[in-house]
Amino acid sequence: NAGVMQNPRHLVRRRGQEARLRCSPMKGHSHVYWYRQLPEEGLKFMVYLQKENIIDESGMPKERFSAEFPKEGPSILRIQQVVRGDSAAYFCASSQQGNSNQPQHFGDGTRLSIL
Amino acid sequence: QKEVEQNSGPLSVPEGAIASLNCTYSDRGSQSFFWYRQYSGKSPELIMSIYSNGDKEDGRFTAQLNKASQYVSLLIRDSQPSDSATYLCAVTGYGNKLVFGAGTILRVKS
């Protein structure tokens, strides 16, 4: 499967725990984007990364959220001390280049549920 | 004012008809425009991209862009029940982040 791979597909956490979401971009893509879709709301941009660099984190909450895209391995979105409001679908997308006209292709998402 | 606006619908059309989906955006610097289809509980799937004024056709889909009016639309010809989904309009400006509308729910009745 050469598409964007996200895991896990479903993640359940209790309040106060940590959530780690993983994303492997499409083969040949080095640009990764994370989006969040809250229930009954649209997709909202969170962060844009290239290998080892955060390019734009303007949509990322200032506290508890962090993202990385190491030289080797998948991109990780990390949420510390989760709260009920973090329950959402988290989608990762990738593009081949970093131009604004590059289509972004989405993974199947991680559905995060906070108990 | 929302950055990207879409009528939430639902838009109901009979099978075989043309479905017309509309989107307006507020940032005049927007450069690239995309339509994604999202089935319930699934990921967004890219169906069309358009970058310059005019029409772009791909199979049963036609995207139309009018930058002066800050308006982009998607026409689906010969609509099928399998086209029933939420259609998301997305725009990029300076930088690569996609700004999405809330989506229009399309229902094609057989």
Contacts of residue B41, Cβ cutoff 8 Å, sequence gap at least 6: none
Q: What is the pLDDT of residues A49-95, one digit of tens each?
A: 998 899 999 999 999 999 999 999 999 999 999 999 999 999 999 99
| Structure token digits, residue A109 | 């998402």
Residue B80, sorted as left (phi over 0), alpha (psi -120 to 50) or beta, turns out to be beta
* Contact between residue B35 and residue B20 where contact means Cβ atoms under 8 Å apart: no
Test mutation, B97, B100, B104, chain A, max A CBs within 10 A: B97
- Return the amino acid letter for B16: G
- B10-40 per-position pLDDT tens digit: 999 999 999 999 999 999 988 899 999 999 9
- Burial class for B46, CB neighbours closer than 10 Å (0-12, 13-18, 19+): middle
Contact A55 B49 (CB under 8 A): no
Taking residues A10-25, report their average pLDDT. Answer: 98
A11 φ, ψ to 5°?
-140, 130
A6 to chain B nearest CA, in Å?
Answer: 11
Token pair 């909450």: residue = A61
